[in-house]
Structure 1
Amino acid sequence: MPSTNSITKFVRIPDVISLGNGVLGILSIICSIHHYSDLAVLSIVLAGVLDFLDGRIARKLGLASPFGVQLDSLCDICSFIIAPAIFAYSMESIDVTIRIALVIVYLVAGLLRLARFNITGTLDNGKYFEGMPVPFSIAIVCSYFLFSYFELSLLIWMALYFIHAFLMISTVKIRKL
């Protein structure tokens, strides 16, 4: 007889979509470690698609749950905080001290942002986020290809991570899509 806390009682269709987001985050990390930049970025972008869909499907099907909210946030840590930070860290042409600082600052800011969001939610009846949402990292990792194509300094590209870190923990109101 299964326990009342059996995982099967918690996981629903939208949660499987959230798990796909987290799995893509881990795949991005693996691709970054092996310097498959295209696949690393693609994995983060696809994770963003799943992140966009999971909550909408949960609400549409009436399957939204506190478990799903927490799972979504944990998967976002993999895909939109750790994976983008490891992607930046994999840029060996940049001094290792800068890369380590980026990973630490970005990780701390992202974790603080998600913890605050899990407690406070959105502002003005769901119209605004407080601070820049973590999935904005998708734009940063995608912009890597522009910087590479136009042979712009990757130090400037990495500065975008520091700016995003600051904006994540700020109280700036960002209109929700």
Structure 2
Amino acid sequence: MNIKFIPSLFTLSNLLLGITSLIFTMEDEYIISASMILLAMILDAMDGRVARRLDATSTFGKELDSLADLVSFGVAPAILVYALELKSFGPAGLIVCIAFALCGAIRLARFNVLNVSDYFIGVPITAAGSLVALIVLIGHRVFIPPMVYPVLMVVLSYLMVSNIKVRKY
């Protein structure tokens, strides 16, 4: 039995959760949507570990992982926060939403072409998108001023494309 496909199943499950998050956002189920993003984070953490353990790392897997990450941690959180809060900011909210997803794409493309193994350059999209989802979940329990969301999104957008070094764990 060929076990080399197993890491891709984790990655595709991550993507599935990102798509599911988008669907729940369209249904105004923001808590479930945010939860899907956080579950995707768990699967994203597992796919690389499984690939290394099974000696099944590949360029295909790296590219598939980036595509899944763009949906689960770039597009899904951006649309979630847009529907929840940014829509009320009009065109500025839309620009913030789009900027987050675009900066995430740039961050992933840069990661794929640089072969730095000791640290990340810029905040990983997984961390940025998961933090956004976590803030949405916290905001469900405690009051978070609406202005926090666009500020958070702009700061995270910048940090994803910045040149700061973030240690790998």
TM-score (norm 2): 0.91
3-state SS of paired residue (1:154) = coil
Percentage identity across paired residues of the two chains: 33
Mapping for residues 1-177 of structure 1, pairs under 5 Å: 12-91=5-84, 94-122=88-116, 126-136=117-127, 137-177=129-169
3-state SS of paired residue (1:76) = helix
Q: Is the 8 A contact 2:74 2:125 kept in 1?
A: yes
Number of residues of Structure 1 aligned to a counterpart in Structure 2: 165
Q: Is the 8 A contact 1:109 1:165 kept in 2?
A: yes
Name the larger-Rg structure. 1
Unaligned runs of 5+ in 2: none
* 2:40 partner letter: A
* 2:125 partner letter: V
Question: C-alpha distance in 2, partners of 1:73/1:158?
Answer: 24
Q: Could you tell me how far 1:121 is from its partner in structure 2? A: 3.4
Question: C-alpha distance in 1, partners of 2:59/2:49?
Answer: 15
Q: Is the 8 A contact 1:121 1:129 kept in 2?
A: no
Q: Is the 8 A contact 1:113 1:131 kept in 2?
A: yes
The structure, 1 or 2, with the larger RCO (C-alpha pairs under 8 Å, 6+ apart) is 2
Q: Is the 8 A contact 1:89 1:99 kept in 2?
A: yes
Q: Could you tell me how far 1:147 is from its partner in structure 2? A: 3.3
Q: Is the 8 A contact 2:34 2:137 kept in 1?
A: no
TM-score (norm 1): 0.87
- Which residue number in structure 2 is paired with residue 5 of structure 1? none
Q: Could you tell me how far 1:148 is from its partner in structure 2? A: 4.2
Unaligned runs of 5+ in 1: 1-8
Q: Is the 8 A contact 2:18 2:40 kept in 1?
A: yes
Q: Deviations over 1:108-162 (max 9, x none)?
A: 111111111000033xxx2210000001121122112333433221221221111
Q: Is the 8 A contact 1:147 1:157 kept in 2?
A: no
